[in-house]
C-alpha cells in the first residue's frame, strides 16, 4: 500500500511539472507562412489544437513577472530561459488559462519582438508580415511580425 501511494504521488508530481517543448510542426508552418510572400499571418490557421489565447514573450522577457501580470502558470515553459536570450521569441498557447503548447521561434525569419507583451485572444491573433530595410548578418531582409490592432 505504501509503495502504491509513493508511486501515485511521484506520478502526480511528474504530471504537474511536465515541461512543454517547442512544437516543431507549428514552427515549420510559421516559417513557411512568413517566407511565403503573404502580408498577413493568422495564428489560428497554423494550429490544429484547442487554444483560446496567445502570449508572446519577446527576448529577455521575465516569465516570473509575466505570470504575476497575467495570473498564469508558466512553469511548463520556463526551461527555455528566454530571460537570458535575444535570439528567439516564445509563443505560448493557452486554453482556459493553462499552457497547452509553445513555440520557440528564432527571430529570423519573423521577429515578434516589437509587439507588446499581452494576452491575445485567438480571434485577434492576426499579424502583419513586414519586410524592413534592415539586413541579417548573412544579408537577408529582416522581417518583423506586428500584431494587427
Please name which of 60, 58, 141 lies closest in space to residue 105, comparing C-alpha atoms. Answer: 58
Three-state secondary-structure class, residue 83 = helix
Look at residue 19 in the predicted model and tell me its pLDDT.
87
- The burial class, CB within 10 Å (0-12 / 13-18 / 19+), for 93 is buried
Q: Say what the pTM is.
A: 0.86
Examine the pLDDT at 17 and tell me if it is beyond 60. Answer: no
Examine the pLDDT at 2 and tell me if it is beyond 70. Answer: no
3-state secondary structure 101-131: EEEEEECCCCECCCCCCCEEEHHHCEEEEEE
Quote the CA–CA distance of 24 and 22 in Å, as a whole number.
6
Specify whether the CB–CB gap between 92 and 73 falls below 8 A: no
Quote the CA–CA distance of 29 and 146 in Å, as a whole number.
18
What is the domain partition of the chain in residue ranges? 19-147
pLDDT tens, 83-112?
A: 999 999 999 999 999 999 999 999 999 999
pLDDT tens, 24-71?
A: 999 999 999 999 999 999 999 999 999 999 999 999 999 999 999 999
Amino acid at each position: 500500500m505504501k509503495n502504491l501511494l509513493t508511486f501515485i504521488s511521484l506520478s502526480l508530481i511528474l504530471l504537474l511539472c511536465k515541461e512543454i517543448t517547442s512544437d516543431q510542426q507549428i514552427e515549420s508552418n510559421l516559417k513557411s507562412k512568413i517566407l511565403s510572400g503573404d502580408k498577413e499571418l493568422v495564428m489560428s490557421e497554423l494550429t490544429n489544437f484547442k487554444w483560446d489565447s496567445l502570449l508572446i514573450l519577446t527576448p529577455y522577457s521575465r516569465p516570473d513577472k509575466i505570470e504575476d501580470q497575467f495570473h498564469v502558470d508558466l512553469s511548463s515553459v520556463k526551461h527555455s530561459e528566454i530571460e537570458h536570450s535575444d535570439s528567439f521569441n516564445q509563443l505560448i498557447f493557452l486554453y482556459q488559462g493553462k499552457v497547452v503548447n509553445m513555440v520557440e521561434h528564432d527571430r529570423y525569419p519573423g521577429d515578434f519582438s516589437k509587439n507588446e507583451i499581452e494576452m491575445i485572444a485567438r480571434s485577434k491573433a492576426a499579424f502583419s508580415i513586414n519586410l524592413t530595410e534592415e539586413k541579417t548578418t548573412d544579408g537577408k531582409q529582416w522581417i518583423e511580425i506586428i500584431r494587427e490592432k
